[in-house]
Homo-oligomer: A and B are copies of this chain.
């Protein structure tokens, strides 16, 4: 049997890429995880989820365990719509699709808008999972730099104008994480957000706004692109993974109803009644505003500890962005190949994600690395950065 002969042509092409998850290091026992974009273990509401399941089963018995059944699935939809409205996004029922986390949302959007003839624009660097997803569909990916004010919309405009002049195809979608970006931690400035929306109208593309970290500001939450989008060009992807628990796999897409209809058409894992109705009960019994204040306190303290540790333990030449929210700090160590350094770091008992995985052209990321302050505790953060400092050689 010739295994290859069965794959579709575009699948054969995609299978030539690096295998997925290559960025995820195998961690030795007891390793300090500065690689993991996981929530703080103490902030994961495990006891409350247990209680939510008990309430659900006591009240509804078998209902949440059938394909359709629990009225709370509809309740979850309404709770998410209400939360979006509180954040300035007035989304109708027909404009929301609940997904299994943000990743499925991004994959579904790629599935209906991208093929080998489509162009997609991404930030550089960007979320490695999203890059993996887009590379499953097309080789035509344009990377636009990010700085301390987020996406360089001026450079995007130049690229678009040049492509238009030269008759090259324009991107169908631009993928951005405007708020507390993964991996840089930076946030797109308000005037750039406005500029980006204008460009989407002028050059006729859609914006995939990945807002997974949007509510995790240490100060005030920036206004999402979706909230200033008048033309229906923003597909807003959100998730409860970072503010509640990733293991529940609850995310969503909010966008124009014609797009939501098409997206739901190709979502073939059906609903997740048990997970969705459990999350609905959890949200019914949770003051999310209060919870977010606690999350912000914890994460801003941990972020401050990480930044302080970097200042103390790393040479002058090393630089980073100071984030105002989210989970990540993006570090540049000039002259060091962070992929090679990782082997040593792991043997010393500290992990991070090498920068190369966040770039379309991996060479661009050689001197960078992503640190996460979300999962490790403050003592571990200090210790982890000390180990890293020793390796880099202060």
Contacts and interface: CB of A to CB of B under 8 A. Distances in A.
A100 interface: yes
Contacts of A275: 249, 272, 274-275
Interface stretch (A89-97, A109-117, A332-340): A109-117
Interface string A24-48: 0000000000000011011010110
Interface string A128-144: 01000100100000000
B262 A15 contact: yes
Interface stretch (A56-64, A209-217, A323-331, A379-387): A56-64
A11 B53 CA distance: 38
Given A1-B231, A38-B67, A62-B46, A11 B266 contact: yes
Interface stretch (A2-10, A219-227, A300-308): A2-10
Contacts of A65: 44, 46, 49, 245-248
Contact of A6 (B113, B231, B261): B113
A258 interface: yes
Interface string A95-126: 00001110110110001111101100000000
A118 B8 contact: yes
Contacts of A8: 112-115, 117-118
Given A274-B249, A275-B275, A41 B62 contact: yes
A270 B100 contact: yes
A87 interface: no
Q: How large is the interface on A (under 10, 10 to 19, 20 to 34, 35 or more residues)?
A: 35 or more
A14 interface: yes
A269 B104 contact: yes
A236 interface: no
B268 A107 contact: yes
Contact of A115 (B10, B136, B206): B10
Residue among A1, A6, A112, A133 with the highest chain B CB neighbour number at 10 A:
A6
Contacts of A15: 262, 265
A46 B57 contact: yes
Counted per complex, copies of this chain come to 2
Contacts of A9: 115, 117
Contacts of A115: 8-10
Nearest to A205: B6
B247 A69 contact: yes
A288 interface: no
A262 B232 CA distance: 35
Contact of A268 (B11, B64, B106, B113): B106
Residue among A7, A70, A133 with the highest chain B CB neighbour number at 10 A:
A7
Contacts of A100: 100, 269-270, 272
Given A1-B231, A57-B49, A270 B103 contact: yes
Given A67-B247, A100-B270, A114-B8, A62 B44 contact: yes
Contacts of A232: 1
Contacts of A117: 8-9
Contacts of A391: none
A229 to B, nearest CB: 11
Nearest to A106: B268
For the complex of A and B, the 4 pairs showing the least CB-CB separation, nearest first, are A107-B268, A247-B273, A44-B62, A65-B247
Given A7-B112, A247-B274, 6 more contacts: A7-B262, A41-B66, A46-B64, A104-B270, A272-B275, A275-B275
